[in-house]
Structure formats: C-alpha cells, structure tokens
Chains A and B, each alone.
Chain A
Amino acid sequence: MKNLLKKELSELFNRQMLISLFIGFFITAMLGGLMTSTISESVADTGTVHIIDMDGTDFTRAVLDELRAQGYEVETAESFETAVAQDGWTEAAVFPAGMSAQLLDAHEAAAIEHYTLLRSTSMLASMVGQTTSADAATDALTHVYDVTVYGEDGFLEEPVSIEKYTRANDVTVKADPVAVIGSLAMFDQFMPLVLFLLVVLTAQTIITAIASEKTDKTLETLLSSPVKRVEILGAKMLAALIVALTYTVSYGLGFAISLYTTVSHGIETNGIDIGGAFTQVVENRIAVQTLGLEIPAYAWIGVIAQLLLTLGISLTASIILGALVDDPKTAQSASLPIMLCTMFPYILSMVSDIRSLSLGVRSLLYAIPFTHTFIATAAMRFHDYPLFWGGLIYQAVFLAALLALALRVYSSDILFVHQGFFKRKGNEVKE
C-alpha cells in the first residue's frame, strides 16, 4: 500500500503540477488581496455623510450638527451633479427646499431625497446603493425633530421618508438604484458566467485533443497530409467551440429551468402579486431607458464581436499551448494560464467596477484581452465608448497576432523537438 501510494503521488506531483500549484496560489492570493482593497475602498468611508442642504434652515443646520455629534464627518455641496464632477461623490442625501416648513409648520411628513451615482452593475454597485447618507440623515433628523424641537416625541411618528434617485450617464431619474441594477443584473452577470464556462471548456477540450493526437501520432499524419495548416487548426477550434457551446447551452437550460421552478414555487406558495411585480418591472425598464443604460441594437453587434474575439483568442492560445503538451496528463496544467486569465477579470468584474480600480491594476487587467469582453456591457451601458471600441480593436489585433503565432508554431519544429515547460520527464526527442 505504502509503495503504491508513493508511486501514485510521484505521478501526480510532477513538475508541471507544482508550477501550476504555485502560480495558482500566488494569483488567487493576489486576487483575494485585490478584492479586499477594492471592497474596502468602496465601503470603508461609511463615517462620512454627503449632504446637500437645499432648505438651509436652522432646523436642517441642527440636523447637520446632530450628524457631527453622532461622529459623522459631514461634507456638503451645492448640487449632486457638481459634487460628482468635482469631488467624486457617488451618493448624497438632499434636504429639499421647504422640508422644514412642511415638517414643523404643516406637521406633514417630509422626504429626504437620496441620490446615487451608478457606474457599474457589479455586486459592489448594489452595496453602494444600499449604504446611504440618507439613512444617517434620517436618524439624525428624527432625533432633532423628536428631542431637540419638541423636547419629547413630535407630532409625527415617522417624520421623514427616503425618496431614491439614480444618476447615470449625466441623467437623473427617480428610481431605486438597486432595482435598476437588479433589472440589468440577470443578463450582466449571466453573460460573463457563460463566457467563463465557454473559455475554460474550449481551452481544456482543445489542449486535451491535441495532446491525444500527439500521443497517438495522428497529428503527424495530419500535418504531413496535403491539407493546409489553417484548415487543420480551424477544424479543431470549431469543433472545440461546438462542444463548449453544447455544454453551455445545456448548463444555461438547466439554469433557466431551475429559475423557472423557483419563481413558480414562490408564486404558488407566497401568493406573489404578479400584477404589482410586473408594474415594477416596467417602471425599472423605463428608468433603465431614461438613464441611457439600454444597449442599442447596433452595439449588441459589438458586444457579440467582443465575445467571439475572446473565444477566438482562447481557442488560438489553446492551440499554441497544446503544441507544448506531450500527453493528456499535462493538458490540465497547460490550460491553467488561460483559466487564470479568465478567472481574474471575471471575478473582479463581478464584484467591482474595473474601470474605477487603481491605474496599475487596471493596466494589468486591460492587458488581458478577455477583460474587455467581461466589461463590454458595462462600458456600453455607461457610455465608455473609447474603452469599448478600444477593447474590441485590442482583442482583434491580439487575435491576429496569436493566429500568426499559431500558424508559425504549427509550421515549425517545435511540435516535435521542444524541450519546454509542459514536457514530461523522459519524453526525449526521438532521433
């Protein structure tokens, strides 16, 4: 048993596996650190509240003092638009003109307006939408109203409510940002998942296929036959793509069925108001359209082009990596670079707005061609056209260069004489 275990472990813990292990460790450790700092950047500043006081009364000034007394740092501005442009605000509470009079003279409940700047549809964007200056302002206002003004409970049990506004693409609409994100999230988060699956599956399929062909010596037969290299590689890439698409469609259908079952169950057991839900959906769609977050039909061609370019790059890179693999056992290790280059932008684009990360991290991510597809819909929704079209051109150039390299590799000796990274011990060149 001990002898057998030793043999199995020595087979599994080869040089390639250890290198993959170390690379994987460092990348994932880096990813964790990056995500933490990204999240911290966005949520750490909960001690600061942004207030736009359009009312300017003693009462609202008392509310600001109360906020300071509660330990908040209070920043004020003339308008949300200028504060966004000049000070980088992403949210603010607004005391509308006449609010004090409505509360103190008319004894009517008033509303604090809460404005959120939407820059992405990522998970962090949803978190930002929930962490508001308006919550802090509501607490402070209620305290001032109840205690400072009346010395005890005021006339109104809940003197103030929050009205949510969302700003994106220089347009502001009265809509809850979380609901706006929610109406886009189904697609914006599902498409990257599909892309991630496609890239990883095609990479593994193609590298394993080439490794098997090398082991069986059928690749030598193909490459010495009167068929153009580009046809051989093209057929392999297309076949891998079809296999991956089949997997993805199958997973997608499973996901859709699962979603349908959950929703149906919810309606049956909880008696969800379908009419109300539908009205909400329509309102959210109108908000999305008004904010310019809808992707126009012509732009979908660009998004699909980015998707196809990413798949092309993944397939071509896999073809090249496959040339460096000598047997199916090492295929897994060979697909690691592609997997990491996909995982890195995928996870980061899911949790944060890549466009707002530090220059160093952004440059690193933009250098990975796949990143541009993961952020394509966000770039289009938030009208970052230079990023979108720049990404598309970058991917096209990258693919062209990679295709040229693949043809060069498959027309060179490297397939049969390399002593490279993925070569297993003992596979010396046969002379």
Chain B
Amino acid sequence: MPLALEVQGLTKSYGKKLAVDHVSFTIEKGQIFGLMGMNGAGKTTILRMLATLLRPDSGDALIDGHSVVKEPDQVRARICYLPDEAGAYRTMTGEAYLAFIAGLYFKKPEEQKACIERGREICGLGDALSQKIATYSRGMTRKLVLARTVMAQPVLAILDEPTSGLDVLNSLDIRKSIRDCAEKYGTAFLLSSHHMQEVHTMADRCAIMKDGVFLADGTPDELLARYEADTLERVFEKAVRGV
C-alpha cells in the first residue's frame, strides 16, 4: 500500500524540555495507527506538528508526499485534525457546522453537498442536526466533530484522544465510525489514546511513547508477542516501567 504518512526524525523542544526526540514511523493509506503514552509523553506535540500547527525543530514528515515543513498549504489540503476535547461553534446548528467545514475544504457546490451528505451519514445524528450545537450532549458533539474530520476524505485524519470523556456506547460508535471510514474512504488515521483496549481493537499498528521517544512499535499482536503479555496494558506497563 502507498504511504499516507512518513515521519522522519521529528524533533521538538519547548525551551530546554525535549518534547519529541527524533521520532520516525510510517502509516499506509487506509491504516489506523495508535499512539499510546502517559500524559506529557509527546503525543499531542507529534499530532500538532503533523497538523502544521507547530514547526518541528528538526526532521520532517511527508503526508501523501508533501512536507509539513516546506509545503504546509499542500499538507493542510490532505489532512483533517481533531484536537483533544475539540468543540464546535455552539450557536450553529449541526447541519450549518457541517456546511461551514465543507466550505473550507471544497469550492464547488456539488462537492460541498456530497461532503455534507457524508458528514450526515458518518455522525448519524439524524434530525438532531437541525438543532443548535449548544443543545448537544458531549457524545453528540464528539460524533459531529469526528464526522467533520473525516467527511472531507482526507489522506490522513489526525485524532487526539477521540473518545476521551465519552461513555462506553458513544465510544463504541466513534470507534466503529473510524474503522468504517478507514475501510470505505481509504483514510489513514493517526490517533492518540489512553485506552489500550481501544487501540488494540481498532489500530492496525501502534506505538508506545515515553519522554518524547518511541519505546516500541508494531502491530498489537507483535507487541503482545514481543513483551510476552496478554493485553496491551501489560505491554504498556512493561515498556514504560522497563520490567
């Protein structure tokens, strides 16, 4: 499969604090890659660098062959980023919000229309889309913003803790949506998560981060075998604690 993302020695510091230290990995088109790590491990910094919001100190990342450092405009046309606990414009209706986002990614009305239609289908909010976002529950808002992230059919969708703070059923819905979009649209996903089970069930490949570096990466099964563990939580514990 062709590569959606190729990260090459990405490095970023905040003052004297090294947040990400020469990280390299790849994601194929249609593949889901899970980033696991404790708070402060450097996950969000990687995601923000790939979303062109932060500039790497060194290294680069190619998204569909375009450099985040040299061609940020080209990259932005190929990615969609969902920040951790991202909200939406509360005064808009769900429908208006999808239309607004579609307008950012597509110029032609027919393309916008198709994009909005995909958004409606992905979020599954039905009639609630005609209501103001201010009236939405947390789960509904998250479904809406996930839909807006993938409806533009980006090469790479970057999701920062997409199910954080959601109940089990809403989390399951979100996971299913991500899986479906990867299969249906060939979108590659890079997501960060604290839920090992979530990564295990969803991700084709994953990595464990600590202090800005990858401690281990591979398919979930490879990691289980490598660390002789029965769950990814045990793998995580062994990798992070070095036991």
Stretch of B41-49, B123-131, B196-204, B225-233 with 4 or more beta carbons under 8 angstroms from chain A:
B41-49
Q: Are B83 and A223 in contact, CB atoms less than 8 angstroms apart?
A: no
Q: Are A413 and B104 in contact, CB atoms less than 8 angstroms apart?
A: no
In whole Å, how far is B84's beta carbon from the nearest beta carbon of chain A?
7
Chain A residues near B82 (CB, 8 Å)?
A: 221
Chain A residues near B77 (CB, 8 Å)?
A: 226
Main secondary structure on A side of the interface with B: loop
- Enumerate B28-67 residues with CB–CB distance to A below 8 Å: 39-45, 48, 51-55
In whole Å, how far is A188's beta carbon from the nearest beta carbon of chain B?
40
Q: How far is the CA of A225 from the CA of B104 in the complex (A)?
A: 7
Residue in B19, B40, B52, B90 whose CB lies within 8 Å of A224: B52
Residue in B19, B73, B88, B212 whose CB lies within 8 Å of A226: B73
Residue in B19, B43, B83 whose CB lies within 8 Å of A217: B83
Specify the chain A residue showing the minimal Cβ separation from B145.
A221
Given the known A-B contacts A226-B76, A429-B14, are A217 and B87 also in contact in the complex, defined by CB atoms under 8 Å? yes
> B79 contacts the other chain (Cβ, under 8 Å)?
yes
- Enumerate B77-135 residues with CB–CB distance to A below 8 Å: 77, 79-90, 101, 104-105
Chain B residues near A218 (CB, 8 Å)?
A: 86-89
Residue in B76, B79, B84, B105 whose CB lies within 8 Å of A430: B84
Given the known A-B contacts A225-B105, A431-B40, are A216 and B86 also in contact in the complex, defined by CB atoms under 8 Å? yes
Main secondary structure on B side of the interface with A: loop
In whole Å, how far is A73's beta carbon from the nearest beta carbon of chain B?
67
Please encode chain A, from 207 to 230, with 1 for each CB lying within 8 Å of some chain B CB and 0 for all others.
Answer: 000000000111011111111100
Q: Are B84 and A217 in contact, CB atoms less than 8 angstroms apart?
A: yes
Chain A residues near B101 (CB, 8 Å)?
A: 221, 225
Number of A positions contacting B (CB below 8 A): 20
In whole Å, how far is A273's beta carbon from the nearest beta carbon of chain B?
55
Residue in A217, A221, A222, A412 whose CB lies within 8 Å of B85: A217
- Enumerate A400-417 residues with CB–CB distance to B below 8 Å: 412-413, 415-417
Q: How far is the CA of A417 from the CA of B57 in the complex (A)?
A: 13
Which residues does A use to contact B, with CB under 8 Å? Answer: 216-218, 220-228, 412-413, 415-417, 429-431
Q: A225-B76, A413-B53 are in contact. List 5 more A-B contacts (CB 8 A).
A: A226-B76, A431-B39, A431-B40, A431-B42, A431-B45
List 18 A–B pairs whose Cβ atoms lie within 8 Å, in order of A's numbering.
Answer: A216-B86, A218-B89, A220-B48, A221-B101, A224-B79, A224-B81, A225-B80, A225-B104, A226-B77, A226-B104, A228-B73, A413-B54, A413-B55, A431-B14, A431-B40, A431-B42, A431-B43, A431-B212
